[in-house]
Structure 1
Amino acid sequence: MSDKQPSNWQKAIEGEWHGCPSLFESDGTWVGTNKVNRASEFKDGRTTYWMETRFDATGPLMDRFEIGARMEFGVVDSDQDRIYTGPDFIGSGRPYGLLVDSNYYSPGWNVNLRTVNHVVPELGMQVYSSQLFEGDTIVGVFNGLYIVTQDHESNPATQQQVSDWLEKEKMDGKKPFNLSVKHEGVYRGEFEVYDANQQLVGTNKVTITHRPINLLHSEQTIELEGVVNHKWTAMRTRNGNTQQFHGPDMFGNGKSYGRYLYSIRHVYGEPLKLWSRETVVDEDNTLVCAWQLIESQKEKYTLFGVLRFEAGENVLAPTYVDRG
């Protein structure tokens, strides 16, 4: 028997996770779903990760990803690095409290993955995504929301809860990423802040003031107060599932895959950029965000949390022309 103890991240993900992430082609086209149950299990000083998948998709990605076998691979578990030792995945993950940012390779799928898993206890879910690459070229995306169980095999009520969740995910996974289209308002929340050494250094109050200009344009001001203090305003445009940020303070672009938007914004006049994954998780415009501030091409801070929307005036109410 080993006296080795599981990492904090391993403790945070104890149990069996259930989800039905959507599968998207590189251009953002939704092509199907993947029913998944998975767990990371610590026993006798060793960690084993297993995953059972059942794809239901169309096109060549179905043949690529449905390999017809249970995935099961070793993990070197720690709070500094989680190293995946194969055979199904080879690479590592970097934990920050309740979020892990992983980069690894799947020989069976022939893709390199950037996977971000964020456990959100206040919402009772894990927000998951994998961007799939050949080299630097994106070839697809998986993303979706998971719930965890401890008694799925034996409890009919839990089984029904999971079944209901999976059905809802099948419907919601293809919804497009849209912020409030007609109502101005404020997104508010508190993010945990981790430094480049993965140490929790405090929290940040995050406020995003949002005002639609028309159905495709909005003005947003992001304000960070706390460990990190910044304020940026930019005009944001949407064209299908692509977005752009036009300054004056931030310039960049993003691409959405269903409910998830991945973007990079450069701060004008500074060696600073913001990488973000933002996910709309309900009908109330609640956003779950994972942000990384990169300074001089190096990781500076990783921030993540929940933003809840406080709706204001409908600034795109019906317009009329009165003719005598």
Structure 2
Amino acid sequence: MEKGNRSTVTKFFLSGLTDQPELQLPLFLLFLGIYLLTVLGNLGTIILILLSSHLKTPMYFFLSSLSFIDLCQSTVITPKMLMIFLMAKNDISYTECIIQLYFFVIFVVSECYVLAAMAYDRYVAICNPLLYSIIMSQHKCLSLVLGVYIIGIVCASVHVGCIFRVDFCKSDFIDHYFCDLISILHLSCSNVFVNESMILIFSVINTILPNLTILSSYVFIIISILRIKSTEGRAKAFSTCSSHISVVAVFYGSAAVMYLNPSSSSPMGEGKVSSVFYTIIVPMLNPMIYSLRNKDIKIALKKLIGKKLLF
């Protein structure tokens, strides 16, 4: 490619997870199973919450939003990965790559903020139970979720907008299994200072604000729980937060492994494995964590399928 030929870039080639032919079919079957579990778990959670009258609370409204985000995030990434495994079709058009990147950023950023909204919901429920229905009104919940998606769309639009100013002339080979922002910028022969600045700015904002909300919420929650005299009361209060704490730990823990490892000591192969965890495995785990640890969901599921001895 010649410098400045951005308009002639029609496709990229993804390296995938492995170039070993004998692993393609086993990995295809593995990730197909993971994707089917992800769709079943998250779509099932959404349907269950929609159909169960006693799950019409802010907590489960945010949970359905989380399930929708996880479902969409996995769908943006996994089908293309499966095509690479099954058909060895590792090319992706420039337009498809940008679209994949755009929606991936939307849903990753949205997940950060919906987890923060869920932490705020638990804070209000435990620290201000008498005012819970007033503070977490339907209008407030809708506004929070709408804000979550607006932030995701703004971040994705800025990043993709900055990509359009970049010329690609070094290579058309993306050393990843999807169109990751950093991997795309590695192919540029333009000055990417603006792109890197936007990545840094939004990364700091999208890390500090959600985490500060989550941490401050749980500080007040822990203080409130410690003030409860009965052991049973403490256990009940903590149980309403345990699933959310688990999801937050899994999401941020897996992302930290990917982004906080020094690049010099972390081969790209390890980076791919880490990113697989938070882009594909986490969306599968979230509905399992909530369904296995949540009595309300178990009861709703029993009622829905009419089997009292299901669990």
Q: What is the TM-score with the length of structure 2 in the denominator?
A: 0.23
Structure (1/2) with the larger strand percentage: 1
TM-score (norm 1): 0.23
Relative contact order, higher structure (CA 8 A, sep 6+): 2
